[in-house]
Amino acid sequence: MLLFCLVSLPASGAEPGAAEPPGSAEPVPSEEAAPPDSWVDRTHSYVEGRIEDSIKWFDAFFGTTTGVDTARPDFVMRWTNEVRAEEGRTPKFRTSLRANVHFPGLSRKLKLVISGENKPDPSAVLPADPGNPGFNEQAPGTSIKQVSTEIRYEFLQTERNYFFAGVGVRLVLPPQAYTRVRYQFNHPFGEIYYFRFAVTPFWNSKVGFGETTEFSLERRIGPMILASWSNSGTISDDSSGLEWGSVLSLSSQLSPKSAVSNSFGVSGPTRPVAVVGNYRASVKFRRNEFRPWFFWELEPEVNWPRDELGGHRTVWAATFRADILFLGK
């Protein structure tokens, strides 16, 4: 199952199961606007079909459902490729994938989650998957290729509450096993405010016990503008105290196919002393182009990382990304 998912170009997005404030979801163009069928569309459909067929086979083989009217497995996969040009360095290529797969024949509460990247995001302020001890690079670190697989059992999933337990393996040398539980609470205040809070205690065979806390507050300024303040903090037996990050962002929908997000973030550790390790400001433009399943981004940014002498130098950079989505239901 793991080998199949890795070969089939998987990817996924943000934390599944989390409720979204009205209007904040990424707009997906109508299928009616799709261009005429071509080899690109046929290839994309073929890959989606092969993924779904394999998932259905495993679901039927290990599950208990029979007949043609059984629930079909659903999956969300995102494959992202990017090129980053940073001042004073040669351009770097980075690829990452996310995959969420449900197997209704086994259990409607059981989910397989796969995350992977060939190197960490060098300027990330918040973790790509907060609270995941198998895939939780918050600051620049090792360039070792890493893939994390996790089996989750979702005890509770409602509009305001999400609770699951997971067991996984981080596929590095040597492999690292981990387990965690996560509870997330979502609560709207009136029609313009939205609050989220999550706690994730975990154990990792390398870093020991730890815990990640997250909270965010979002406010709708207009029908097409959203302001948000997102925060994350992780502490473990092997961390530099509390490894924290905070981001303020202002996102605007320009059209049904494009949006722009301006953000400013800070991050750092609390040991041996509490300092800001990096300041980051960026502008991200994202657009759906050519096909309903293809998105591209352009993100110029400026960072002020802390050096060994305690000062902050200025580093300019720009990143171009391309996302390919595979959806099945």
Looking at residue 312, the DSSP 8-state letter turns out to be B
- On the question of a cis peptide bond just before residue 174, with omega within 30 degrees of 0, the verdict is yes
Which single residue is written with the structure tokens 């199961």? Answer: 17
Quick one: which of 277, 249, 252, 276 has its CA closest to 264?
A: 249
Residue type, 66: T
Q: DSSP E strands: which ranges in 118-175?
A: 146-157, 161-170
CA distance 169 to 65: 28
Tell me: the pLDDT tens digits for 74-123? 778 888 999 999 988 899 998 888 888 877 666 667 888 888 777 767 67
> Which phi and psi angles does 218 have, rounded to 5°?
-120, 145
Q: What would you report as the CA-atom Rg of the chain, rounded to the nearest whole angstrom?
A: 20
Which single residue is written with the structure tokens 């979204």? Answer: 20
Tell me: the pLDDT tens digits for 7-64? 333 333 334 444 444 344 444 444 444 455 677 777 767 666 665 555 554 444 444 4
Tell me: the pLDDT tens digits for 223-252? 888 999 999 998 888 777 888 999 999 999
The predicted model scores a pTM of 0.73
The CATH number, out of the four listed (2.40.160.40, 3.40.50.1000, 3.40.50.920, 3.40.50.1100), of the domain defined by the range 2-19+36-328: 2.40.160.40
The b/e string for 74-107 (b: 16+ C-beta within 10 A; e otherwise) is bbbbbbbebebebeeeeeeebebbbbbbbbbbbe
Cα angle value 50/104/70 (rounded, 5°): 80
In the chain, where the domains are located: 2-19+36-328
